[in-house]
Amino acid sequence: MDERAFSAAQGFLLAAKMYWTTTLYRALRDEFLAKSSVDQKEQSVEDVAAILEDSPLYQYFAWLERHLQRMKYAGRYGLVPYHDERRGELLAALTGDAELDRDLELPGYYTGVDIHQHPGGLWSDATAALVYERGARSTTPMLGEAHKDLHDRFTDVVAAAGPPRRILDMGGGFGKSTGPLAERFPDSSVESVDLSAPCVTLGAHLAKQRQLDNVRYRQMDARSTDYSDASFDLVTSTMVLHELPTKALEELFDEALRVLEPGGRMVHLDFYSIPDGFRRFIHYGHARRNNEPFMQPLASTDLAALLKKKGFVDIEITPFKESEEIDIEKNDAWRFPWTVVTATKPEVSS
Amino acid sequence: MTTQRSGRPEQQLFEDPAVDRLMGVLMALATEHYVLRDRVRALEGQLAKTGTLDVSALDAEPTAAELAAAQADRDAFAEALLKPLLGEQQAKGATGPFSLKKK
- Report which secondary-structure segment, H or E, holds A217: strand A215-219
Q: Is residue B91 part of a domain?
A: no
Which 277-316 residues of chain A touch chain B by CB within 8 A? 281, 284-285, 288-289, 291, 293
Residue A172 is which amino acid? G
What are residue A269's DSSP bridge partners?
A238, A340
A27 in reach of chain B (CB within 8 A): no
d(CA B94, CA A113): 8
What are the tens digits of pLDDT across the range B23-62? 999 999 999 999 999 999 898 888 888 988 876 676 678 8
User: What pLDDT is attached to residue A147?
Assistant: 55
B58 found inside a domain: yes
Segment 114-153 of chain A within 8 Å of chain B by CB: 114-121
Task: Answer yes or no: is B102 within a domain.
Answer: no
pLDDT at A224: 98
B46 in a structural domain: yes
Q: Contact A119/B14, CB-based, under 8 Å?
A: no
Q: Kindly list the domain boundaries of chain A, sorted by start residue.
A: 144-344
- The three-state secondary structure class of B54 is coil
Q: How many domains does chain B have?
A: 1
Residue of B20, B93, B98 with shortest CB distance to A63: B20
Task: Chain A: give the shortest CA distance to residue B100, in Å.
Answer: 5
Least confident of A85-99, A159-173, B68-82: B68-82
User: Does the pLDDT at position A140 exceed 90?
Assistant: no
Over residues A248-262, the pLDDT tens digits come to 999 999 999 999 999
Residue A66 Ramachandran class (φ > 0 left, ψ -120 to 50 alpha, else beta): alpha
pLDDT mean over A204-219: 96
Size of interface A-B (CB pairs under 8 A): 110
Please name the member of A7, A60, A66 whose beta carbon is closest to the beta carbon of B11: A66
Q: Which of A12, A53, A77 sits opposite B99 (nearest CB)?
A: A53
For B21, the domain range is 17-79
Contact between chains at B32 and A71 (C-beta distance less than 8 A):
no
Q: Which residues pair with A319 in a beta bridge?
A: A339
For residue A291, the chain B residues in CB contact (below 8 A) are 91-94
Q: How far apart are CA A234 and CA A338, in angstroms?
A: 20
Give the mean pLDDT of chain A. Answer: 94
Neighboring chain A residues of B99 at a CB cutoff of 8 Å: 49, 53
User: Per-residue pLDDT averaged across A314-337, rounded?
Assistant: 93
Would you say A45 and A280 are in contact if contact means Cβ atoms under 8 Å apart?
yes
ipTM for the complex shown = 0.79
- Find the closest chain A residue to B80 by CA distance: A76
Contact A291 B94 (CB under 8 A): yes
Closest CA to A29 of A226, A278, A336, A307: A278
CA distance A2 to A77: 10
pLDDT above 90 (res A287): yes
Fold (CATH) for A144-344: Rossmann fold (3.40.50)
Q: What is the pLDDT of residue A167?
A: 98
* In-domain check, residue B68: yes
Tell me whether residue B42 is in a domain.
Answer: yes
B100 in a structural domain: no
Q: Is B45 exposed, middle or buried (0-12, 13-18, 19+ CB in 10 A)?
A: exposed
Residue B84 lies in a domain: no
Using alpha carbons, select from A24, A291, A14 the residue that is nearest to residue A137. Answer: A14
- Are the C-beta atoms of residues A248 and A109 closer than 8 Å to each other? yes
pLDDT in tens, A56-82: 999 999 999 999 999 999 989 999 999
| Per-residue model confidence (pLDDT) at position A145 | 57
